[in-house]
Amino acid sequence: MVPGRRELHRPPPIAYVTMFLFGLLVAAGAHALRNFAIECNQREVLRVSSPDGTADAVLVEPLVSWFGEAPSLYLVPRGDSAPAWGAVARVSSYGEVPMLDWASPQLLEMRLTRGCIESFSNVWHSSDIEDGNYYVEIRLGPESALTCIQVPSPATLRSVSVPGAGAGAAAPGGR
């Protein structure tokens, strides 16, 4: 070292690793805090147990609408509260509360008279029930032709037959 010069401080690699882990910790903490806030902000609107008593379908909506997710449908092991993530359906703009009907122990139908489906997936699975071999299928049952959109006049709802316009088609394959 040259006398009189300050020694250049080089942080050891562990300092960078620590900073990386600190960033990871902050992110995980923020995520946990967000989930906790969402859980605190939601209230149960409807809970319907499956016929075999294994799972509950729970519809929740946020207490404070500007914070949190849209009204959501969760499936949970019986008696559990709705989590903050993993909703099988998110519904908005519904007037009446959607009806939840268990057609069989593993088949749930959600019937909507009015409302928009923001997101939906038709299979739910929990690793906490029957060693992860318990599945539930969810179906949507719109009660009317249009439950979400509003059209300007009934005339636009008419089925129109236009040459060249296909009324429907099926794909040859699919697997």
Partner 1 sequence: MTYASESRYARIIRRMAFVAVFAAGLCVPLIPESPPGWAMRPVRRELLRVPSPTLECDAVLLETRAGVMAKRTSYEVYIVGHGVAIKRRAPVMSATRMREPALRWRSANLLEIGYLRARIEQFTNYWPHERRKAATPVEIHLAPESATYSFLVTGPNSTAPATLPAR
CA 121 – CA 74 distance, rounded (Å): 11
Rg (CA), the chain: 25
Is the CB of 127 or the CB of 149 nearer to partner 1? 149
Could you tell me which of 122, 29, 112 has the C-alpha nearest to residue 71? 112
Count the residues of the shown chain that bind partner 1, applying the rule CB under 8 A.
Answer: 64
Shortest distance (Å) from residue 172 CB to partner 1:
8
**One-letter amino acid for residue 60 of the chain:** V
Residues 70-109 that bind partner 1 (CB under 8 A): 103-107
DSSP 74-113: EEEETTPPP-SS--SEEEES-SSPPEEEEEETTEEEEEES
| Closest CB to partner 1 among residues 80, 118 | 118
Cβ atoms within 10 A of the Cβ of 84, count?
Answer: 21
Q: Does 31 bind partner 1 (CB under 8 A)?
A: yes
Using the contact rule CB under 8 A, the part of the chain among 35-43, 59-67, 69-77, 157-165 near partner 1 is 157-165
Burial code (b: 16+ CB inside 10 Å, e: under 16) for 42-67 equals: beeeebeebeeebbbbbbbbbeeeee
Is residue 146 part of the contact set for partner 1 (CB under 8 A)? yes
CB closer to partner 1, 20 vs 67: 20
- Tell me the per-residue interface mask from 115 to 144 with partner 1, x by CB under 8 A, - otherwise: -xxxxxxxx------x--xxx-x-xx-x--
Point out which residues bind partner 1 (CB under 8 A): 5-6, 8, 11, 15-16, 19-28, 31, 103-107, 116-123, 130, 133-135, 137, 139-140, 142, 145-151, 156-162, 164-175
